[in-house]
Amino acid sequence: MTFLLCIVASGLYAQKEVTLTLIPPAFVTNKVDLDIRIGIGNRKDKIRELKLSLYIDKENRQSLLYDTVIKLQQNDVQEVKLVMPTKDKTGKHQIILVAKEGKKETRKKKNIEIIDSPVRSSRLLGGAWAGIYHWSEAEGKHWNNDLRQITDRQWKELIQAMHKVGMDIVVIQEVFRNEAYAGKHHISTGNYSGKAFYPSELYPARMSIAAEDPVEAILSEADKLDMNVLVGVGLFAWFDFGQESLEWHKQVARDLWNKYGHHSSFYGFYVSEESGGSLDNWEKEEALRIVRKNEMVRFFREFKAFCKRLAPAKPVMLATNSFDIPSGADTYPALLENLDILCPFGFARMPENDLTGEQAAILLQELCDRAEAHLWMDLEAFLFNEDQSLYPRPAKEIIYDLNLFDNFEKILCYQFPGVFNSPEMSVRIGEARTLDLYNDYQNYRTNVLKTTLKRQNKP
């Protein structure tokens, strides 16, 4: 096992004084090591001394993974990282953190299932995006009107439906809607006019939707079901990682953490802006390509440091596409130093004269491994109609990709609302064939789990 202690001094401090995070959460194969992170903060006006003990399953000496004593100055935060091999730990487990300060004890527990597998991937969908309202009216033609009308209670139903098919990681696409693009606007934190999907303390304009606070509805239901939610910090402007965007993201991240950080399901921060695989915003001039790459590296260096002070041990995730990765190879090492999870998409529709999807996945895995970053996959569960509207991708194609791309430690999909629908929900979001996809995937998942169980029980 390996350990890493990160100390960050700051005037900010964690809203939660002790946090425990597993990367990946929920389940992982025994071909992927488990990244265990402990975050602690000091809100007191004196030095604190805490004894941290980390166990697996039971609180005894034989089950002890790690222990240490840490001192925190006033307003300091610290992050401890442990990497635990999983090869010999197949089965259901509980990671237990005990923090002792004098006579006071604080316990945090996280469940994890380690699945026997011949490859890194479980070949299952571990989660999905949940866009509160699709950014494009053309793409969201078949479900945006439904999303506009669903209530907070129905958002909870949707989270329940995700949980029933093992999609226990929820990525909220964005918490603000603002259609603008990098290099084509004059937006600042002072004149930002985007509309919020939640009761924001920063900007009063609200999206016209029936739900009063879908973010709260998602998190509160996820709490009950032991799920994990990456809250989308965005959107400032697509592909924009400039200075104004950075300051805006810091403000929104703080607002979200102050408002929702008490939820046990608040897993981390997802930066909604996205990027091309080349990391250069498709600029034509070499000088501008360099500017965009440098902006991106600086953005995540500063934003990650800010989030670590605000909420230590909470990961930061970005989704890029998988196109033209060799053009960004000079920038990925510096970017991934300050990015916990890279979750790229588009492997099934690689452009001509580019790498194949499998080659792109291998190259990204190598880059992430060198930087000790996590590589997840954003599997596209949709296809395009001729009018650019999205419709559910046939289950057999999704299953094909789940089995083809076997290096990803976690596979999420884009997206659940409008693409999957449980027949048990009180409302259908999108087309009728969304019900077929949900049922087909549920049958596939049941068969995979049966096969896995037989393999694990084999003498």
Give the per-residue pLDDT at 459. 59
**Before 415, cis peptide (omega within 30)?**
yes
pTM for this model (two decimals):
0.95
- Cα(99)–Cα(448) distance, integer angstroms: 38
Give the per-residue pLDDT at 42. 85
CATH 3.20.20.80 range(s) for the chain read 127-457
* Beta-carbon count within 10 A of 400 CB: 12
Supply 227's token pair: 């799920």
Q: Are 176 and 203 in contact (CB under 8 A)?
A: yes
Q: Are 228 and 267 in contact (CB under 8 A)?
A: yes
Is the CATH number 3.20.20.80 carried by domain 127-457? Answer: yes
CATH 2.60.40.10 range(s) for the chain read 2-115
- Cα(116)–Cα(349) distance, integer angstroms: 30
Supply 40's token pair: 């602690």
Give the per-residue pLDDT at 328. 97
Give the per-residue pLDDT at 75. 83
Q: H or E element: which one contains 98?
A: strand 91-101
- Cα(258)–Cα(236) distance, integer angstroms: 20
- Cα(402)–Cα(125) distance, integer angstroms: 8
Q: Where are the alpha helices (DSSP H) in 261-329?
A: 286-310
Question: Which ranges of the chain have pLDDT less than 50?
Answer: 3, 5-14
Digit-coded pLDDT (tens) for 156-174: 999 999 999 999 999 999 9
* Beta-carbon count within 10 A of 436 CB: 15
Instruction: Tell me how far apart the terminal alpha carbons of the chain are, to the nearest angstrom.
Output: 28
Give the per-residue pLDDT at 2. 55
Give the per-residue pLDDT at 201. 85
Phi-psi region of 372 (alpha: psi -120 to 50; beta: other; left: phi over 0): left
Give the per-residue pLDDT at 140. 96
Phi-psi region of 324 (alpha: psi -120 to 50; beta: other; left: phi over 0): left
| CA–CA–CA angle 177, 189, 147 (5° rounding) | 10
- Cα(236)–Cα(195) distance, integer angstroms: 10
Give the per-residue pLDDT at 48. 87
Cα torsion through 289, 292, 295, 301, rounded to 10: -80
Give the per-residue pLDDT at 14. 45
Distance of alpha carbon 195 from the chain centroid? 22
The amino acid at residue 73 is Q
Digit-coded pLDDT (tens) for 166-212: 999 999 999 999 999 999 999 999 999 999 999 998 998 999 999 99
CATH topology of domain 2-115: Immunoglobulin-like (2.60.40)
Q: Are 314 and 39 in contact (CB under 8 A)?
A: yes
* Beta-carbon count within 10 A of 342 CB: 23
